Each structure stands twice: as structure tokens, then as C-alpha cells.
Amino acid sequence: MARETGLKRTPLFDLHLELGAKMVPFAGWEMPVQYPMGVLKEHLHTRAAAGLFDVSHMGQVILPAGAVAALEALVPVDIAGLGLNRQRYAMFTDAAGGILDDLMVANRGDHLFLVVNAACAEADIAHLRAHVPGVEVIADRALLALQGPAAETALARLVPGVAAMRFMEVATLSWEGAELWISRSGYTGEDGFEISLPEARAEGFARALLAMAEVAPIGLGARDSLRLEAGLCLYGHDIDTTTSPVEAGLAWAIQKARRTGGARAGGFPGAERILAELAQGPERRRVGLRPEGRAPMREGTEIFAAESGGAALGRVTSGGFGPSINAPMAMAYLPATLAEGTLVYGEVRGKRHPARIAPMPFHPHSYKR
């Protein structure tokens, strides 16, 4: 429901206030940015135990099973080859090969289940409705994410069946009569789950998890530092219509079937550019940066080849301090000719500071394969 602020609220809004959350506007919603524990401790708690995130602002969409070909015409991803009860990362592309949004697609047998970003949900749904028959928007379910090495232990107390799931697997399970749509996935680099459930049951389920010693509520602030340490893109920052999937380092998400010579090569928006970049390489690419001091290089910081003079090579798209690595980190688009280990300079408040092109993720992933 929209309030006088014009912002929407998730079913857990009152619980966030009870837990002492600081609420901020985000993608048209009032969302918790942090709790009294603070962003640093929330981040480290998720890496050490389990963090509970309210991601009910994300868009949940169902497509009929017969919509596979229509959806494939919008993404450079193999949807037809997606196994039963499996999930896959995808992106909508435009005619110029840019990224309209990234999303998750699950094959749930008699239908496909999509989760799209909150900021793009309205545009994504309009895009789907213009090209795919039978689009059903799910408006009565919340979405929670439980992330961290203790996530399985905690969730299995309520839903024992999750222990058998593997990374990017989906399942329909139940808790006290409520139907849960669960995927073993997330946005932190940690093992974990995303759980769609009836909004009327969301608060009770969240309270049952938060009653466990391993589980703490985590806000958007730590969600951002966790995903940045994991080298994961944030739409509207690291990827958008000016970036192609290949430039963004997302070529791994384009399966053989959709590539040149594949069974269903091309046939998606921007295929000419994207397939050419897959074959020849892009002129620029998303890279990791490790600043050599302690000061972070934030989004928008321009990157140069030398300590003085010369034109900017590119700019930082996401940057901050990594609590788990105890150091600053950033991502930027730079010429593809620059190798890992290359020294570059970020201009912060008129002064250039050294940084090295570094491999990502900055913190290792720990998915349950």
C-alpha cells in the first residue's frame, strides 16, 4: 500500500520498526538500510552465521510453460534447456545489446517463475506483457532471503526439506500450512535461500527465524557491501543499457545454445553486437579494483593511467569498504587491454590515489554445489 509519502511498504514494515531499523526510500519502497547492530556487524554476521533480508520489494512474475520461446526471444540465455526445478540467471537486452535488467528464471514444471529488480519491475512487466502471453504478476506474496553458512541449519529447523537442495535448485515446500517457493540462491556470495511465501504469513515466518541465535535481521547497507565483495552487479550502477553482458563479465550466463553455432543461436535483442563481442572480445570490461590505501573509491570516481595528466580511462560503478577483506574495493569499466595487476589511479577530491586491477570476487563464494 502507498502511504502519504508515496512509498510502498512490505508486509514486514512494522516488524522492521519494532527491530529498530532505519528506514529509507529505495526503488519506490520504504526499506530498512540498517538495524541497531550497524552495517559492519550485519555484514560480518551474515558471513559468519545467517542474515535475514526482506526483499519483498522485488517483482515476482509467473509465465505459462508454453512461454519458453517467447521469453527466449527477450534474453540471451538458454531457457528451453533449463532443467525441472532449476533456476538460471538471465538479463533482458535491448536492440543495441545493452542490459534492460537482470533477473532470475526458475522452471517450476507447469510454469516459469521470474524474480525481477524492484526499480525495474514496472518496466520489466510491461516489456514481458508486450512480448509474452499469459503474464501473471504475483502481488500477494512476500520474499525473504536467508544468507550465510548457518542458513541451511536455521531454515531446516522450520522446513527440513531444504537440506537436500543444491545451489540454483528450486522447490515447493510447506511451513505450518503455508506454501513456500524456495530457491537455493542469493545475492551475498554465501550459501543461502530465497523464500517466496504468502504475505499474511511473512511476519510469523520471519519471527520464527529471528528467534534463532544464528539469525539476525540485515538491511540494504550490508546487502550492498556483501554483494560487492562477491563481485556481483547491481542494476543501474554496474549494468544498464550502456553496458553489454560481455562488457559486464556476464558471458558465463550465455549458454552454448544461444551462441554462434548453437542450436538456437541469436534471436535475442542486440544479438549482433553481443555475439560479435563473445567472438572478438569487448573494447572495455568490468574489472575489480583494490585501492592501495584505506580510503574507498566510490561510484563515479574517475580512473586514470597515470598520477597526473591524461584522459580518464573509465569510472567506478560501485565502490566501498569490504568488512570481510578489511580493505577498500571497487568495480569499474576499463579498457580490456589492461591486465590484472595493472596500476591505475582513482581521482578522489582532486587527488589521484593508486589502485590495482584485481580478480573478482574479492571474497570467495561459498555456494552449495
| Residues 171, 351: Cα–Cα separation, whole Å | 52
H or E element, residue 130: helix 121-131
The reply to whether 71 and 121 lie within a common domain is yes
Q: Are strands 29-34 and 8-9 parallel, antiparallel or unpaired?
A: parallel
The reply to whether 268 and 292 lie within a common domain is no
pLDDT per residue as tens digits for the range 313-350: 999 999 999 999 999 999 999 999 999 999 999 999 99
Cβ 86 vs Cβ 165: under 8 Å: no
The reply to whether 250 and 301 lie within a common domain is no
The reply to whether 202 and 325 lie within a common domain is no
pLDDT per residue as tens digits for the range 7-38: 999 999 999 999 999 999 999 999 999 999 99
Q: Of 236, 257, 282, at which residue does a domain stop?
A: 282
Q: Is 340 annotated as a binding residue?
A: no
The reply to whether 51 and 73 lie within a common domain is yes
Diameter of the chain by CA atoms?
66
Instruction: Mark 79-95 as b/e (b = at least 16 C-beta within 10 Å).
Output: bebbeebbbbebbbbee
Using 50, 70 and 90 to split pLDDT, how confident is the model at 2?
Answer: very low
The reply to whether 125 and 199 lie within a common domain is yes
Q: Of 260, 282, 304, at which residue does a domain stop?
A: 282
Quote the strand ranges of the chain, DSSP E: 8-9, 22-26, 29-34, 50-54, 59-64, 87-93, 99-107, 111-116, 136-138, 141-147, 170-175, 178-183, 192-198, 215-217, 284-291, 302-304, 314-322, 327-335, 343-348, 351-358
For position 344, which CATH number holds? 2.40.30.110
The reply to whether 81 and 178 lie within a common domain is yes
Give the total number of structural domains in the chain: 2
- pTM value is 0.96
Q: Are strands 215-217 and 50-54 parallel, antiparallel or unpaired?
A: parallel
The reply to whether 237 and 293 lie within a common domain is no
pLDDT per residue as tens digits for the range 145-204: 999 999 999 999 999 999 999 999 999 999 999 999 999 999 999 999 999 999 999 999
The reply to whether 256 and 321 lie within a common domain is no
Q: Of 282, 307, 323, at which residue does a domain stop?
A: 282
The reply to whether 242 and 325 lie within a common domain is no
The reply to whether 328 and 358 lie within a common domain is yes
For position 186, which CATH number holds? 3.30.1360.120
Distances, alpha carbon 166 to alpha carbons 162, 169, 171, 182, 267, in Å = 9, 5, 10, 11, 31
Using 50, 70 and 90 to split pLDDT, how confident is the model at 5?
Answer: confident
Q: What type of residue sits at position 151?
A: A
Determine the structural domain holding residue 121 and report its residue range. Answer: 1-282
The reply to whether 114 and 182 lie within a common domain is yes
